[in-house]
Structures are given as structure tokens and as C-alpha cells.
Structure 1
Amino acid sequence: MGGVTSSSAGGGGGGETVLGDLPESCVAEVLRRLDPPEICRMARLSRTFRGAASGDGVWEAKLPRNYARLLAAAADGEAAALEAVEAIPKKEVYARLCRRNRLDGGTKEFWLDKGGGGVCMTISSRALSITGIDDRRYWNFIPNDESRFHAVAYLSQIWWFEVRGEVEFCFPEGTYSLFFRLHLGRPLKRLGRRVYSSEHIHGWDIKPVRFQLSTSDGQQAQSKCYLTDPGVWINHHVGDFVVKSSNEPVKIQFAMVQIDCTHTKGGLCVDSVAVKPQYLAKKKASRIYV
């Protein structure tokens, strides 16, 4: 390897071998074994590397098996997208799926993780079934620039606390984790600084909140905890589930409840529910402070 230089020229004096002399097919085989960010960096080395890094074979290896279905979901027109997908360069398919693709009127979004190629999804509080959401004595949707959806459901006070939701989607094969993104207290901005109001926070230290997860193929998970730590966003890990086939949609149902009516509770923001590959979830603790 000592005779290989970093020059992009097609030839060189003294019979030296340069990067431009390598066959593009050989370079492509090397790139197929790299992560997408590494492929993009290698594309800067020479014209040969740049050509190989645009090849369909390199990027198709990084796409999930069901990328055509995912592209159809992103395009919001399955039949047309499935017909056109073969004509789109695979690098462009990968780039499109890495964008935040919104579904169901903008209340859900999914994207590919650029580092590992796994599918992530977030579900807005507006897509959840929340007991009492239509009564402003209990709940309100308030603007919040810390939310991906720019609004969160804020609870002032209630006896029967119940938040449920479901999503049906063709996730690629793998193990996934599900989280509720919550915040005790109402986030505010004062004089350019982030603060929060603790006015309505009460009742969460008396009984734990129960979290539940189930899938259409019979998987189940449960967890519970007391809600603490006001003033920070917490991603509470509900549980994990396994997708065995990317060709069949899996329905996921999830909930957080505290229906002990011996006391009221309040002062809670419900932002969203997140589904992410387990390899991403393991990089961070189940409680994430933002």
C-alpha cells in the first residue's frame, strides 16, 4: 500500500499507482462495507471514489429491504411511488428517506437514521387519545418550540389520567424501543431564558404512572414509575418489541395511565411518542434530559 498516493490523477511519474487507477467496481465493494457518513467522506478522495459512491449497488445495500414501501409512505401515494421507485437512483432514495417524512396530516413522522439506517418514528400528542382533551378545564394544546410538532398537550388538573395511541407501519426487521416524551411543569421563555411554571404540578408522587405496550403479533411490555424531576424533558422507556417481517405492517398500541381517582394530578406536558431502533435507544439512558 506504500505505493498508493492520494492523487486523483489518472497517471503519475515513476510508475506509481494512484487512487484514480483503482477500478470503480473494486472501490464500490469497499464502500459497501462502510456506513453512509463514511461513504460520503470517501467520495471526496478522487473522481473514481465519487463515481463509485453514487452507484446503486452501494446505496441499495444501506437501504432497508422494504425501502419501496417506505418511499411510498413518504410520497403519500403508494401505487405511483412503487411504480417509480426503480427509476430513482438509490442514493436519492436514501436521501429522501432520511428526511422527516410526515404522515396522517402531519401528526406523525418517520425517517432513516443516517448513521445506522434504522427507521425512527415520532407521534404527536394530537394523534393520541387523551381522556378529557376536549375540556379546557383539564387539557390544552399549547405552543412549544422544543417540540418537533411545535405544540404539546398540557394538563392542568384531572382525576382520571389516560393517554392512549396506536400506529400501524411496515417497520424493517429489528428490535425497537418505544418512549413517551414528558415534561413536569409548563415550559416558558422569560427575558430570553428558558424557565418553567410549577403552578399545577401535583399528584405524581402519590401513585406511579403505568405504561403499556402491545403489538398485533402478541408482544407485550409494561413499566411504571413516579414522575419526578420538573423542568426537564424525560423520555420514559415503555418497552421493546421485535419486527420479524418488513413486508407486513405491525400495529403497535401503547398507553400511559394513572386512573386512581383518590387524588387529582396535574402540571404535565405530553409531547409525543417515539419509536426508534434499539441500537439507538441503548446509546442513551431511558431518561433523557434535554
Structure 2
Amino acid sequence: MGTGLQVVLAASVAAGNAALAASPTTGAAQALRDTQQALGGRLGDSPFGRPLVLDSMELPEGLKGDVYAIVDHPLQDVAAALKTPARWCEALILHINNRRCQVATDSGREVLTLSVVRRYDKPVDSAFTLPFLYRTIAMDPDYMAVELSAESGPLGTRSYRVVLEAVRLRNGRTFLHFSYAYEHNLVARVATQAYLATFGSDKVGFTALGRLPGGETDWIRGTRGLVERNAMRYFLAVEAYLSAMDVPAPQQQDARLLAWYEATERYPRQLHEIDLASYLALKREDRLRNGPP
């Protein structure tokens, strides 16, 4: 992400935070609209072939990926589809590495526990768990925001934070911002680098750095490539969940699985893992084992 845009977005966030004290929903909605305006050129000329922008940042203590997109769903439908932890479970389980998702109440707080394998071909009993505290920040006619936060994860990772915020646009469309971030310590960084040097050595992200001598695109690699892939997979899971809202209930889950797989296959260099039949078999196995979220 360019320095100029960082300054604009930082100013938008600062303005939103200032307004938040007086009017939380109005201030946050305006801040998100300001971000949309700042991203206008990139949304209109996106390499994704649709109004979508993906940014990543390597912070001193962690990683962060942000997806911004205009989607053809009214805000009221987005809010209705994603207003409970159980529905978030149904969306997140579309991700190929997420094998189980359960919702419980702990001391009056709603907790969404996600079981994640490090690679899709690892056994389910090797999964690590992320107990996300679910919090509705805002759910209003013009703006919604939901946060999932987990204090700790595997191998020294911590402070996981998933945020979805959305603002109403004209003509039944919505501007979405999906953010995925976590912090890590030295142990986690070493483990990540070991993965990237072995099984993940051919993995790339979505940021184009230029051209290689042979003319191919030089895609970003390393930890930023890693967080870009995960942020995109999760965003596509949310979008696939939304895409089946009008499908008859008995067919919704299969429709969402197919939508997620087809969406990821648009970016085979970054996201391809297995064939469709294997993915569907994996997820149907999860469904039989786990039951309803």
C-alpha cells in the first residue's frame, strides 16, 4: 500500500475516531465512506476485474490484511445474514483449513471457537483452536460492524482480530471492509519462516511487485503473501455466504461451498489447493462429524 494512501486512510480513521465519541454510528459510517472515496481510483481500476482492493501490512509485532469491496447486496441483507455467531460459523467453515466451528456462551459473552488445521491435508485432531469473542459493534440502517477477537493462538501467535464493517450505498449496493490481523512472537515468526521455506515455498500473494526477467508477474511472497491469501480466503467465505441467501434453505450449504471454491479458483496462482470433488468431500465430512454450528 502506497504511503500517500496510508496517510489518507489514517486521516480517515482519525476523523472517524474523533466523530465516534459524539455519534458512534454516524462517525464510523462517514469514516468508511471516506475510505471508499480515497480508494476510488483503485476500486475502479482493480486488477481483480471488480471493485475490490486488497492491502497488507507487516507490522512490528504482526501482520494485517484488509479487503475493501463493493458488493451487490443491500446492507440490510448483509446485516441479516451475518448478525449472529452461528451464521459466522457457517461462513468461516467454508475456508478449506477450518474444520470445525462451535458457538457457546461464556460468562454472558458469545464465543465462537474455530478449529483450524495448518494445511488442509492434516488430520482434524491436529487442529488448533481459536476461541473468538464475538461482538456486535453496530447494526444500524446505514452501517454495521462486527468484531471477532481471540487473545491467543498457536505457536506464540496472539491478538487475533477479524472485523467486518459495511456501509450502505445507493442502488442496493454495499461497501465492505474486511480486516484480518494477528500478532506473533519470535517462535511464531520462526515457525512461519520454516513453513514458507518448505511447504509454502511456492506460495505467493496478490500484490504485484513488478515483472520477472521472463516477463511473468513478480508476486509478493513471505509473510505478507501469507496474510494476503488468508484475508482473501476469509473475505470470499463471507461473500460466498451472502451469495446463497436466496437459495432454498436445504440447498444453501452446498451452494455456498460451490461459490467459495469457484471464487478461490479465479486466483489459482494464489489460492488453488485441491480439486472441487475433494473439497466438497472434505466439507461434507466436516458436516457429518460436527453437525449444526
Please give the TM-score of this superposition, normalised by the length of structure 2.
0.26
Higher-Rg member (1/2):
1
Please give the TM-score of this superposition, normalised by the length of structure 1.
0.27
Considering fraction of residues, name the structure with more strand.
1
